[in-house]
């Protein structure tokens, strides 16, 4: 049984964060564990408050995992401030887990900030170097690089700049772009690879990034192959968006039903050469 850990924030409304990650792990048939970094009182429409867990308790949770069970892959999501980042970075250095997927979460789908504005420097310096793959969406890639992204070419440029900062694989997600297709670009420092699906006409995309990065982590643990993991994860998240729920007054959540992983695998190959 593969063992997956998510280090992220808790979304009490169940669509994103730790909750989306654990649902994804279950659908992949792997054993899911969680280190909660922040408790976020949020729903589809707004973020009401954020309570960060103390660095000591974040560290204790990570110790609890590694002194006993260990992991086959780790997904890292919301890290809201310097202290959280430092605590997680210190433990990653200590335990050096295999397969680290980092989703540099900055905002919720309704626009509420989830990371302190001045923490981006710490994120780049202390956290990004641990990523085997980093999965920024377009606004996050813009924030990390300082460039404006309006085209596939701009996404490629952002991926290159992030790779130049020492990230091994960068997957710039195209969910926030316009157009009929949702294309994500994977860059390994040498070549670009494209993962494309038809854009689904829905506002219900709360939790898509969390779902995608968790699916990639689970796929890495299962296959040891990043391209295969991204291909399967793209099929998985697309299916989860297709079945997303129109609940709440803001962007509704992706839905994970129990055989979604198998369902996603039967879909056509999203890998496309542009
Ligand atoms: N409306 C949509 N139709 C199909 N795929 C989408 C849609 N919105 C997002 N995606 C895909 O969902 C995944 C998560 O991307 P994105 O929504 O950009 O991330 P985030 O949740 O971090 O903002 C990507 O594979 C992206 O291409
Ligand atoms: C605790 C928490 N973590 C992350 C997100 C963003 O999720 P996404 O970008 O997948 O919509 C969120 N809304 N809440």
| Domain-located, residue 144 | yes
- Which of these is catalytic: 208, 238, 239, 254? 208
What is residue 150's predicted lDDT score, i.e. its pLDDT? 96
The complex's ipTM?
0.98
Helices H / strands E in the chain, number of each: 9, 9
| Domain-located, residue 273 | no
Q: Are 165 and 123 in contact (CB under 8 A)?
A: no
What is residue 274's predicted lDDT score, i.e. its pLDDT? 45
What is residue 269's predicted lDDT score, i.e. its pLDDT? 61
Which one, of 29, 89, 28, lies nearest residue 58 by Cα? Answer: 89
| Domain-located, residue 274 | no
Q: How many domains does the chain have?
A: 1
Alpha carbon of 4 to ligand 2 centroid (Å): 19
175 assigned to active site? no
- CATH number, domain with residue 157: 3.40.1190.20
Q: Token digits for 129?
A: 């170097």
Question: Is the CB–ligand 1 distance for residue 264 below 6 Å?
Answer: no
| Domain-located, residue 109 | yes
Closest protein CA for atom 26 of ligand 1 = 175
Structural domain that includes position 40: 3-265
14 assigned to active site? no
C-alpha torsion angle, residues 247, 240, 185, 229 (rounded to 10): 140
Question: Is the CB–ligand 1 distance for residue 77 below 6 Å?
Answer: no
Alpha carbon of 21 to ligand 1 centroid (Å): 15
**Closest ligand relative to 185 C-alpha:** 1
| Domain-located, residue 231 | yes
Q: Which atom, in ligand 1's list, is nearest to the CA of 198?
A: 4
The alpha carbon dihedral of 162, 99, 213, 272 has a sign of positive
What is residue 178's predicted lDDT score, i.e. its pLDDT? 85
210 assigned to active site? yes
User: E strands within the chain?
Assistant: 3-11, 31-42, 47-52, 73-76, 100-102, 133-134, 170-172, 181-187, 192-198
Distance CA 198, CA 228 (A): 19
166 assigned to active site? no
| Domain-located, residue 196 | yes
| Domain-located, residue 184 | yes
3 state SS of 95: helix
**Closest ligand relative to 184 C-alpha:** 1
Distance CA 94, CA 100 (A): 14
Please give the chain's pLDDT, 274 residues, in tens. 999 999 999 999 999 999 999 999 999 999 999 999 999 999 999 999 999 999 999 999 999 999 999 999 999 999 999 999 999 999 999 999 999 999 999 999 888 999 999 999 999 999 999 999 999 999 999 999 999 999 999 999 999 999 999 999 999 999 999 889 999 999 999 999 999 999 999 999 999 999 999 999 999 999 999 999 999 999 999 999 999 999 999 999 999 976 666 666 666 566 654 4
What is residue 257's predicted lDDT score, i.e. its pLDDT? 75
Residue 110, class by beta-carbon neighbours within 10 Å (0-12 exposed, 13-18 middle, 19+ buried)?
middle
| Domain-located, residue 271 | no
- Which of these is catalytic: 17, 71, 210, 231? 210
């Amino acid at each position: 049984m593969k063992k997956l850990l998510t280090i992220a924030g808790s979304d009490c409304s169940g669509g994103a964060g730790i909750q989306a990650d654990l649902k994804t792990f279950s659908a992949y048939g792997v054993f899911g564990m969680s280190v909660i970094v922040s408790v976020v009182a949020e729903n589809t429409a707004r973020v009401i408050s954020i309570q960060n867990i103390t660095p000591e308790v974040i560290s204790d949770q990570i110790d609890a995992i590694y002194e006993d069970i260990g992991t086959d892959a780790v997904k890292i999501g919301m890290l809201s401030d310097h202290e959280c980042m430092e605590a997680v970075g210190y433990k990653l250095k200590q335990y050096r887990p295999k397969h680290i997927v980092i989703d540099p979460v900055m905002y919720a789908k309704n626009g509420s900030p989830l990371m302190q504005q001045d923490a981006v420097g710490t994120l780049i310096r202390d956290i990004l170097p641990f990523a085997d793959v980093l999965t920024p969406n377009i606004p996050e890639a813009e924030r990390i690089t300082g460039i404006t992204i309006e085209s596939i070419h701009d996404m490629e440029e952002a991926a290159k700049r992030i790779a130049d900062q020492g990230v091994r694989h960068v997957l710039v997600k195209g969910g926030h772009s316009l157009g009929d297709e949702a294309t994500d670009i994977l860059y390994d420092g040498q070549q670009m690879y494209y993962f494309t699906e038809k854009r689904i006409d829905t506002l219900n995309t709360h939790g898509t990034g969390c779902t995608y990065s968790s699916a990639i982590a689970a796929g890495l643990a299962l296959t040891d192959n990043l391209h295969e993991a991204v291909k399967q994860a793209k099929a998985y998240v697309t299916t989860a968006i297709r079945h997303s729920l129109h609940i709440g007054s803001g962007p509704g959540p992706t839905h994970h039903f129990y055989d979604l992983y198998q369902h996603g695998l039967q879909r056509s190959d999203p890998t496309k050469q542009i």
